[in-house]
Structure 1
């Protein structure tokens, strides 16, 4: 039935049975409110456009893996690999997330109110009109944007060590400039231009729409004062391959 909302309570249910419960509810409704999530893995896996999960508690690893256009909002923290290889849709986390969020992400958007663990955005990529984006409101662990091939990462807090190691595409927008000797070989750190500010503004306005009430005030969404981290050339590792 279109527009219908149902609620399910997971408690300590094993992740296999928990996912069966959620999938069955999604067959009967467009929005499923999940209560008492206690680290069950794979919730929302491959969920299509038109379906929504509102999760209260802490979902387990691989939340929304292969997400295919659906929307997931977590009212709490999330564990590792949020949005693993997701292809489209939106994930909103009213807290922090663990390691490797957006691993191999191909489309869609992830918004995290607070900080994140290591290797967020690793192997993120884009193709034609699919340009994935991750916005992190707090500090990030080490290796943010590792091997980044495409897409956009916006970081409002401070990055950890080894930022963007192996990055060869895409862009990372930093609210806090890093020291020149911390910029990985083959990358350039520079002030943003008006096109960058417009993109940052659109993402941060959406971030504020999700989190301003949590934070007590919206963050500055003008895009002013950011720095752009990008590959110095279109093929930074061309010398490693035969012509």
Structure 2
């Protein structure tokens, strides 16, 4: 039996596609190709390690949500909440994404080669999010842990009410949010950035990075 499943019927619903994925995984198929431009939501949700997805086209909300270790490559754009609450694995987007990408991530890597919308990595709990293009407002809002690496520019209120983790950016930042502040990069930061970006074979200028951290771990209760 072939270890690969290919789905290319544009008339299928999200439920029908996910039922085919479930059946393929039961048959030990470890590579799943989906071609669709219907901007369907909640595709490739909650899948385990050892599975590779190749999504081609335009997709909707919650793609790769609750990912538990699979590798998802998207040759196109996605809508909101890409990788929502994923715990591990890798999602690579060749295009751009809308608002809320990486919301509540516990772990794993999210690489966006285009632009990202507002509220990138809100409530990030430990994931690594990389954006090669520009991002919208309030990136890293309420983030607790993890890293956001931006190779483009950021809009307003970057790091708004962040409580932990780090934001690294090479471009311009229109404004910082509440409880966010610039810090100096140390050698540990430089080593971490280099290791992450080299692992994804990305070009970068290490000297161009600025670091944004929280001012206080307890901004609502005093220092």
State the shift of 1:67 in Å: 0.7
State the shift of 1:6 in Å: 2.4
What does the per-residue CA deviation read over 1:186-209, in whole Å, with 9 as the maximum and x for residues that have no partner?
32203312111111112211332x
Q: Unaligned regions of 5+ residues in structure 1, if any?
A: 127-131, 209-217
The ranges of structure 1 where at least 4 consecutive aligned residues each deviate by more than 6 angstroms after the TM superposition are: none
Residue matched to 1:197 = 190
Structure with more helix by fraction:
1
1:10-25 residue pairs with structure 2 within 5 A?
10-25=9-24
Paired with 2:193 and 2:9, the residues of 1 have a C-alpha distance of 37
Instruction: Determine whether 1:110 maps to 2:110.
Output: yes
Paired with 1:157 and 1:43, the residues of 2 have a C-alpha distance of 28
TM-score (norm 1): 0.85
Residue matched to 1:143 = 138
CA 1:166/1:10 → structure 2, altered by over 3 Å: closer, same or farther?
farther
CA RMSD of aligned residues (A): 1.9
Asked whether the 8 Å contact 1:83–1:102 carries over to 2, the reply is yes
Choose from 149, 152, 157 the match for 2:147. 152
Q: Unaligned regions of 5+ residues in structure 2, if any?
A: none
Choose from 188, 191, 203 the match for 1:219. 203
Residue matched to 2:168 = 173
CA 1:4/1:187 → structure 2, altered by over 3 Å: closer, same or farther?
same
What does the per-residue CA deviation read over 1:86-115, in whole Å, with 9 as the maximum and x for residues that have no partner?
111110001111110111111111000011
Paired with 2:218 and 2:94, the residues of 1 have a C-alpha distance of 37
